[in-house]
């Protein structure tokens, strides 16, 4: 009846050694390949202007101090200035070292100091400090900087919030023309920073002995985590603005390093038609230089580029450039002086052009539900254009594909237009209006809008990306999209939504924080058992309704998906803290109504609870401690189950609110808390209300059961279903494993936490390139997205008629038994975080239903190791007759201590009719309210409760009681490859029900391979055997295995493209974390036939084609085809790549080309995902 202390002690010992192993790896592997500290590469080249690269004075040697995540700015500066840099990385702007509770994500202070001190041995021209608090730098570093400055090394200090810490260096500050020289490289008046600062000084210069010191003060109230050198929020997401801030920084570095050349641009004057310039130099030597002028508009589009050679015969030289006729608006003019290809100086100016007749705005009508493809609106000008003017209205998607265009010649001050949107490939669209006169563009106006969001029809990749402010944030978002991320999991926000879709990222919003009290929540305790907020409180529900309505308005144009919560639940601290919430007046009133429905009368309640209430108003729940003292846990268990109904109801309430505003909404939850008596999850009822539920990864994260529950209970095809994984564990095998595990479990995608790491390591290094562990995950995800995902999503997943029992009553029964020996305990926040960050990820969860979880994970793992699959079956389903209706042959009872009488009767019938029952503890020793019975209701199935592994005959079936036989299977035997004996014992038991694995996987010793899951999918006559080797198990000698298929068949290896021929045998490799997919086809694919309707197309036309499998059989099954288009530059055009499903081995499809499509020869390439057969056809776009 009680959890055995010895078993639990073994578990604790395992956790201790795992954490010890993690600690050892932290000490000995400080800078492993996934630790981004002190690593910067220049692999990623982003849009930039080479202000001083190559610089005439050579590379400037710089030591740059900034937070680790902000060192992308170091690389941005190095793209624009010849810079030989060394980077010193701090944890944040105010914290030198990361808190040890977040290790191994951070590094110990001693390691950081050792790395920094090695850099201090070099000589530098300049030191750059990016918004770091001077006081937070360690004493040795401050003293070193002071000494270097005393000896003449330049210093550029970008001030943190307030510059008092370094003001002493500017006590003798003087006005210097060099300050104007620095600022003249940026048209500050027209930049957001200049508008904000107005007359405030941004840059100050000072000299300390021989050293030159520059102070930047952006007067910031908020410092973005990516911006150590340039102003946060100072670029309005415009690349050209960011370019100019880096130009200022480059000039400051040149001056501080005493690397300014003898030549200087003295003047730039613009009279509207001509730009005149004056160049000066300090010597009289003859000099032949090249002037280069670049003119750009506000959107960074190049409008003119001119060159002019000039010769100096004295100290000055003048030149002029004829300016092109430009449209109204801002135009930026950048001038360089170059000698022998190297830059001597640069300067910028701006020209503001106006027009009496210009486009003031574009207004769009609301789209008609009958024709969502029709876009109508008005172009509003400042006055009526003249008779010769015309208006061009264009619709573009976010790949800058022109979808439609229309010329209008009958113009008024407000001109109506309507245009078909066409076939956009992005969510974000843009309408552009160009007003022209006599062939000259007078005015241009753009307006963004969104198309109707689409639902998922293929394997997807979603990511919690995190903070991505400003222009650099845009670069990061675009980088994630290019790497293969499809969705950003983000809090709804109109501005943030727009940033994401500009990067072509779709959205899955994290919708409400009200469900999760969070870490360190201090207002809940065993002394005050009222949840804050209380889910049954009418005032809270009104606030929640208003919040949901506001966020639905924001989300609806961008996404059909609504994730109500993440880590939600009743109790705080991820529901690990065992608090018997909620005892609020409204919850207690609701509880009494719940009991009235549960019990036929007050007398029935008193009998069950062993109480003596005289009226329903007297009835009150009991805490765990009170119920234990009372000697009957029914009052506690009923309260827990009521709170589960409250949690289900608040999700139901939220879903209803959203659906009232967005009837097409697809609504679910993410990252449910560990299954326990305190999280509020009544899985069967809750999953009936939701469209998706996306759990954390399973092994070692206490979520194995939830992965399978989500698979079995939530099956909405167009919902975004997948496993969460990511930076929790950066092992290569782990990140190779999870994307396939998600797919093989019937899900259509995968989720990643986190993209931009702050306290934890993210997916990208500080230079925005993917870290190795993320690259490994990307490799798997993108392979799945290249067709295998489409294939398996459209197949049916087989099961082997094995059911695993689950019920809320059993969860609470397990909690009772665990808590009888391990009393509830409050855990400090630091301990929880430390456990969550450990390797592997094993949060301590005393006070929950650990005995049930351990039992479930043993059965699930063992059945998978046998090459079999199972379904979870709820007690209500069993009572309703699902065991016989669905044809189950085996029923597994993991720690099934609490059952109703109706449930036990259904189980007896199942066994009597020939079923096999496996239980690891004496089942049904409590009723469904967790009250102990005098005699277990399933006692008659077992001849002797004390005899382990005895096969008991009952009717036509069998019942076997395992007791503790599997307790050491997962946490001990399997980790050492010692589980074969027990695995084979259970194999023989299951064979009693006529169930055997269809596929044999044999190691080099011709023995069954352990720690490998097999899942079968089917489409028509073709079956797909999907193999997945566990990522956390002891490696056997060699990875080579032999496969024995159940019948003679055509065997295809989908990942390698190998055809094994007709037979039953194949050989492959299965290292840890590796997936393999094999097809068993009754026919051989001879070829893939591709037919185009024509071989020449005009821009804007539709290209139609057909695909068909050619096989040695007329009856063909469903196939998936991968389509790619290769443009005239011989590059695959990503946005035209697509996977198609062909129900009977054939399909037709078409693409709509844009009006500005590349002209020339294109190629369409089609591949059959199963056989690897490829077909190609060339065509021309004219």
pLDDT digits (tens, 9 = 90+) for 1122-1172: 999 999 999 999 999 999 999 999 999 999 999 999 999 999 999 999 999
CATH code of the region 54-260: 3.40.50
**Cis bond leading into 754, ω under 30°?**
yes
Element (H, E) at 1164: strand 1160-1168
Quote the CA–CA distance of 861 and 1012 in Å, as a whole number: 9
512 pLDDT higher than 80: no
* pLDDT on residue 382: 97
| Confidence label for 196 from pLDDT (cuts 50, 70 and 90) | confident
Say if CB 787 and CB 458 are below 8 A apart: no
What is the tens place of the pLDDT at every residue in 764-801? 999 999 999 999 999 999 999 999 999 999 999 999 99
**Cis bond leading into 104, ω under 30°?**
yes
* pLDDT on residue 848: 61
Which homologous superfamily is 1085-1181 in? Macroglobulin (MG2) domain (2.60.40.1930)
Mean pLDDT of all residues belonging to the chain: 90
What is the tens place of the pLDDT at every residue in 290-301? 999 999 999 999
* pLDDT on residue 839: 36
CATH top class, domain 849-991: alpha beta
Residue with tokens 């036309």, as numbered in its chain: 1101
Which of these, 972, 489, 1013, 1030, lies nearest to 731 by C-alpha position? 1030
Could you check whether 268-353 and 460-524+535-576+644-797 share the same CATH topology? no
For the beta sheet containing 1102-1111, the strands, ordered from the edge strand earlier in sequence to the opposite edge, are: 1085-1092, 1102-1111, 1146-1152
* pLDDT on residue 373: 86
Percent of the chain clearing pLDDT 90 (strictly above): 77
26 pLDDT higher than 50: no
SS3 84: strand
DSSP result, 1125-1159: EE-TTS-B-GGG-EEEEETTSEEEEEEE--TTPPP
From the candidate CATH numbers 3.30.2320.50, 1.25.40.10, 2.60.40.1180, 1.10.3720.10, the one assigned to the domain spanning 1000-1081: 2.60.40.1180
Higher-scoring residue by pLDDT: 825, 1031: 1031
* pLDDT on residue 1035: 66
* pLDDT on residue 939: 94
**Percentages helix, strand, coil for the chain, rounded to the nearest 5?**
30, 30, 40
Say if CB 33 and CB 775 are below 8 A apart: no
* pLDDT on residue 164: 73
1046 pLDDT higher than 50: yes
DSSP result, 86-119: EEEEESSSS-SS--GGGTTSS--HHHHHHHHHHH
* pLDDT on residue 1079: 98
Per-residue pLDDT, averaged over 262-269, amounts to: 94
Q: With 0-12 CB in 10 A as exposed, 13-18 as middle and 19+ as buried, what is 282?
A: exposed
* pLDDT on residue 527: 64
Checking 601-608 for CB contacts under 8 A at 24+ apart, the result is 608/634, 608/929, 608/931
Domain boundaries, the chain: 54-260, 268-353, 359-450, 460-524+535-576+644-797, 849-991, 1000-1081, 1085-1181
DSSP result, 751-819: EEE-SS-SSS--SB-TTSSBPHHHHHHHHHHHHIIIIIHHHHHTSEEP--SEEEEE-HHHHHHHHHHHH
| Confidence label for 9 from pLDDT (cuts 50, 70 and 90) | very low
CATH code of the region 460-524+535-576+644-797: 3.20.20.80
> Distance of alpha carbon 1058 from its chain centroid, rounded?
33
Element (H, E) at 17: helix 5-28
162: left (phi over 0), alpha (psi -120 to 50) or beta: left
* pLDDT on residue 236: 72
* pLDDT on residue 514: 66
* pLDDT on residue 287: 78
Q: Could you count the other beta carbons within 10 Å of the beta carbon of residue 865?
A: 27
Per-residue pLDDT, averaged over 701-727, amounts to: 88
Element (H, E) at 204: strand 203-208
Quote the CA–CA distance of 744 and 728 in Å, as a whole number: 21
Element (H, E) at 566: strand 561-566
* pLDDT on residue 664: 95
Helix H, strand E, coil C: the string for 115-129 is: HHHHHCCCCCCEEEE
* pLDDT on residue 1174: 98
1031 pLDDT higher than 90: no
* pLDDT on residue 181: 95
Per-residue pLDDT, averaged over 139-157, amounts to: 96
The CA-CA-CA angle for residues 791, 795, 797, to 5°, reads 125
Which of these, 575, 577, 580, lies nearest to 679 by C-alpha position? 575
1055 pLDDT higher than 90: yes
CATH top class, domain 359-450: mainly beta
Per-residue pLDDT, averaged over 507-532, amounts to: 69
* pLDDT on residue 702: 59
Taking the alpha carbons of 640, 644, 649, 655 in that order, is the dihedral positive or negative?
positive
* pLDDT on residue 120: 98
**Cis bond leading into 571, ω under 30°?**
no
pTM above 0.85, yes or no: yes
DSSP result, 966-1032: TTTIIIIIGGGT--HHHHHHHHHHHHTTT---SSEEE-TTSSBPSSEEEEEEEETTEEEEEEEE-SS
| Confidence label for 362 from pLDDT (cuts 50, 70 and 90) | very high
What is the tens place of the pLDDT at every residue in 853-907? 889 999 999 999 999 999 999 999 999 999 999 999 999 999 999 999 999 999 9
14 pLDDT higher than 60: no
Which of these, 586, 579, 590, 589, lies nearest to 534 by C-alpha position? 586
Phi, psi of 1102 (to 5 degrees): -95, 130
Lowest mean pLDDT among 813-822, 1080-1089, 1105-1114: 813-822
Classified by CATH at the fold level, domain 268-353 comes out as Immunoglobulin-like (2.60.40)
Say if CB 787 and CB 1139 are below 8 A apart: yes
């Amino acid at each position: 009846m009680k959890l055995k202390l010895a078993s639990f002690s073994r578990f604790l010992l395992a956790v201790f050694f795992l954490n010890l192993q993690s600690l050892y790896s932290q000490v000995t592997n400080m800078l492993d390949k996934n630790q981004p500290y002190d690593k910067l590469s220049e692999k990623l080249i982003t849009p930039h202007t080479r202000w001083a690269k190559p610089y005439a004075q050579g590379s400037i040697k710089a030591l740059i101090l900034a937070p680790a995540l902000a060192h992308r700015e170091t690389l941005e500066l190095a793209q624009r200035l010849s810079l030989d840099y060394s980077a010193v990385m701090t944890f944040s702007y105010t914290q030198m070292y990361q808190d040890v509770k977040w290790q191994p994500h951070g590094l110990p202070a001693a390691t950081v100091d050792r790395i920094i001190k090695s850099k201090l041995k070099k000589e530098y021209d300049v030191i750059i400090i990016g918004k770091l608090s001077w006081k937070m730098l360690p004493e040795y570093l401050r003293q070193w900087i002071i000494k270097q400055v005393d000896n003449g090394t330049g210093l550029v200090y970008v001030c943190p919030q307030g510059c008092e810490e370094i003001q002493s260096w500017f006590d003798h500050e003087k006005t210097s023309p060099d300050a104007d020289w620095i600022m003249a490289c940026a048209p500050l008046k027209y930049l957001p920073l200049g508008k904000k600062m107005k007359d405030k000084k941004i840059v100050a210069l000072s000299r300390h002995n021989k050293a030159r010191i520059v102070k930047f003060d952006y007067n910031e109230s908020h410092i973005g985590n990516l911006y150590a050198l340039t102003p946060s929020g100072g670029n309005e997401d415009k690349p050209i603005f960011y370019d100019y801030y880096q130009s200022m920084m480059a000039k400051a570095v040149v001056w501080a390093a005493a690397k300014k050349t003898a030549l200087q641009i003295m003047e730039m004057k613009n009279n509207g038609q001509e730009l005149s310039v004056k160049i000066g130099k300090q010597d009289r030597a003859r000099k032949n230089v090249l002037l280069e002028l670049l003119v750009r508009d506000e959107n960074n589009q190049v409008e003119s580029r001119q060159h002019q050679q000039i010769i100096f015969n004295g100290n000055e030289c003048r030149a002029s450039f004829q300016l092109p006729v430009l449209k109204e608006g801002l135009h930026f003019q950048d001038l360089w002086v170059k000698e022998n290809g190297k830059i001597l100086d640069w300067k910028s100016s701006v020209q503001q052009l106006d027009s009496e007749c210009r486009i003031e705005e574009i207004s769009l009508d609301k789209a008609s539900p009958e024709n969502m493809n029709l876009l109508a609106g008005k172009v509003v000008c400042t006055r009526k254009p003249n008779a010769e003017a015309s208006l061009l209205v264009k619709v573009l998607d976010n790949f800058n594909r022109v979808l439609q265009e229309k010329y209008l010649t009958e113009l008024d001050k407000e001109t109506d237009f309507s245009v078909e949107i066409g076939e956009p490939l992005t969510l974000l669209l843009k309408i552009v209006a160009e007003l022209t006169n006599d062939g000259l563009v007078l005015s241009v106006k753009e307006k963004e809008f969104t198309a109707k969001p689409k639902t998922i029809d293929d394997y997807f990749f979603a990511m919690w990306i995190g903070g991505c402010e400003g222009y650099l944030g845009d670069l990061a978002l675009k980088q994630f999209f290019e790497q293969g991320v499809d969705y950003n999991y983000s809090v709804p926000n109109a501005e943030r939504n727009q940033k994401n879709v500009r990067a072509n990222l779709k959205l899955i919003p994290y919708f409400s924080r009200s469900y999760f009290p969070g870490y360190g929540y201090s207002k809940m305790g065993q002394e005050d058992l009222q949840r804050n907020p209380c889910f049954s409180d009418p005032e809270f529900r009104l606030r929640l309704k208003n919040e949901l309505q506001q966020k639905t308005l924001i989300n609806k144009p961008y996404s059909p998906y609504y994730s109500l919560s993440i880590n939600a639940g009743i109790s705080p601290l991820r529901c690990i803290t065992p608090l018997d919430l909620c005892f609020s007046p409204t919850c207690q009133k609701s509880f009494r109504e719940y009991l009235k429905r549960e019990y036929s009368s007050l007398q029935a309640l008193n009998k069950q609870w062993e109480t003596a209430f005289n009226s329903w108003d007297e009835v009150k729940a009991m805490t765990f401690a009170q119920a234990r003292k009372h000697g009957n846990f029914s009052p506690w268990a009923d309260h827990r189950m009521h709170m589960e109904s409250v949690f289900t109801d608040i999700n139901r309430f939220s879903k209803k609110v959203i659906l009232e505003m967005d009837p097409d909404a697809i609504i679910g939850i993410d990252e449910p808390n560990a299954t326990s008596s305190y999280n509020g999850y009544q899985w069967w009822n809750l999953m009936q209300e939701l469209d998706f539920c996306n759990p954390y990864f399973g092994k070692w994260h206490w979520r194995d059961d939830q992965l399978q529950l989500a698979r079995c209970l939530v099956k909405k095809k167009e919902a975004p279903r997948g496993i969460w994984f990511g930076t929790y564990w950066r092992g290569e095998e782990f990140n190779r494993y999870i994307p396939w595990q998600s797919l093989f479990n019937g899900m259509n995608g995968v989720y990643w936490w986190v993209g931009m790491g702050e306290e934890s390591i993210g997916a990208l290094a500080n230079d925005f390139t993917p870290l190795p562990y993320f690259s490994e995950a990307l490799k798997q995800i993108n392979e799945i997205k290249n067709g295998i995902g489409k294939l398996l999503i459209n197949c049916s997943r087989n099961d082997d008629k094995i059911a695993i029992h689950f019920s809320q009553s059993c969860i609470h029964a397990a909690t009772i038994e665990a808590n009888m020996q391990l009393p509830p305990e409050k855990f400090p926040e630091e301990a929880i975080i430390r456990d969550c960050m450990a390797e592997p990820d094993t949060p301590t969860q005393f006070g929950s239903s650990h005995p049930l979880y351990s039992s479930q994970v043993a059965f699930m793992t063992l059945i998978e190791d046998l090459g079999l699959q199972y379904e979870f079956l709820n007690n209500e389903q069993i009572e309703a007759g699902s065991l016989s209706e669905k044809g189950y042959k085996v029923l597994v009872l993991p720690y099934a201590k609490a059952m109703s009488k109706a449930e036990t009767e259904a189980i007896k019938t199942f066994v009597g009719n020939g079923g096999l029952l496996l239980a690891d503890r004496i089942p049904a020793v409590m009723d469904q309210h967790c009250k102990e019975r005098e005699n277990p209701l399933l006692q008659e199935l077992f001849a002797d409760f004390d005899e382990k592994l005895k096969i008991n005959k009952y009717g036509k079936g069998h019942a076997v009681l395992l007791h503790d036989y599997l307790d050491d299977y997962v946490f001990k035997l399997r980790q050492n490859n010692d589980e074969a004996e027990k695995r084979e014992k259970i194999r023989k038991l299951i064979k009693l029900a006529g169930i055997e694995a269809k596929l044999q996987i044999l190691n080099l010793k011709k023995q069954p391979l352990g720690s490998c899951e097999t899942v079968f999918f089917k489409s028509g006559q073709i079956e797909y055997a999907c193999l997945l080797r566990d990522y956390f198990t002891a490696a056997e000698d060699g990875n080579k295995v032999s496969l024995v298929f159940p019948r003679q068949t055509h065997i295809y290896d989908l990942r390698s493209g190998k055809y094994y021929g007709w037979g039953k045998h194949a050989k492959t490799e299965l290292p840890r974390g590796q997936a393999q997919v094999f097809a068993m086809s009754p026919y051989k694919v001879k070829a893939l036939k591709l037919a185009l309707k024509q071989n020449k197309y005009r821009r804007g036309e539709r290209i139609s084609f057909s695909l068909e499998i050619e096989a040695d059989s007329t009856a063909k099954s469903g196939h998936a085809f991968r389509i790619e288009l290769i443009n005239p530059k011989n590059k695959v055009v990503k946005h035209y790549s697509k996977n198609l499903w062909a129900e009977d081995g054939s399909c037709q499809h078409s693409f709509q080309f844009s009006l500005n499509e590349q002209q020339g020869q294109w190629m369409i390439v089609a591949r059959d995902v199963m056989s690897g057969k490829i077909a190609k056809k060339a065509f021309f776009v004219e």
